[in-house]
Amino acid sequence: MSASLIYRNAAVYGVLMRVLYGRHYRARFRAIAAEVPPGSEVLDLCCGPATLYTRHLRGRGVDYHGLDLNERFVADVINAGGRGEVWDLHADTPLPAVDVVLMQASLYHFLPDPAPILDRMLAAARQRVIIAEPIRNLATSDNRVLAALGKRYTDAGDGARAHRFTEQSLDELFAAHRHRVLEQRLIAGGREKMFVLAA
Ligand SMILES: C[S@@+](CC[C@H](N)C(=O)[O-])C[C@H]1O[C@@H](n2cnc3c(N)ncnc32)[C@H](O)[C@@H]1O
Please work out whether the CB of residue 40 comes within 6 Å of at least one atom of ligand 1.
Answer: no
- Report whether pLDDT(29) > 90: yes
Q: How far is the CA of 26 from the centre of ligand 1 (A)?
A: 18
Using the predicted structure, report yes or no on whether residue 160 has a pLDDT greater than 60. Answer: no
Question: Which residue type, as a one-letter code, is found at position 179?
Answer: H
Task: Give me the mean pLDDT over the 167-190 stretch.
Answer: 96
Where along the chain do its domains lie?
Answer: 26-138+162-198
What average pLDDT does the segment 126-131 reach?
A: 98
Is the shortest distance between the CB of 88 and ligand 1 below 6 Å?
A: yes
Q: Residue 117 C-alpha to ligand 1 middle, in angstroms?
A: 13
DSSP assignment, residue 81? Answer: T
If you measure from the C-alpha of residue 173 to the centroid of ligand 1, how many angstroms do you get, rounded to a whole number? Answer: 20
Cα of 70 to ligand 1 centre, how many Å? 8
Please give the pLDDT value at position 158. Answer: 47
Residue 49 near ligand 1, beta carbon < 6 Å: no
Instruction: Please state the rounded mean pLDDT for residues 143-148.
Output: 67
CA-CA distance, 167 to 147, in Å (whole number)? 19
Position 16 confidence tier, pLDDT thresholds 50, 70, 90:
confident
Mean pLDDT of 81-102: 96
Residue 116, SS3 per DSSP: helix
Say if residues 45 and 100 touch (Cβ distance below 8 Å): no
Residue 2 has pLDDT above 50, yes or no: no
Q: How confident is the model at residue 20 (pLDDT cuts 50, 70, 90)?
A: confident
What is the overall mean pLDDT for the chain? 87
What confidence category does residue 141 fall into, taking pLDDT thresholds of 50, 70 and 90?
A: low
Q: Please, what CATH class does the domain formed by 26-138+162-198 belong to?
A: alpha beta
Ligand 1 contacts CB of residue 20 (under 6 A): no
Q: Is the per-residue pLDDT at 159 higher than 50?
A: no
d(CA 69, CA 65): 14
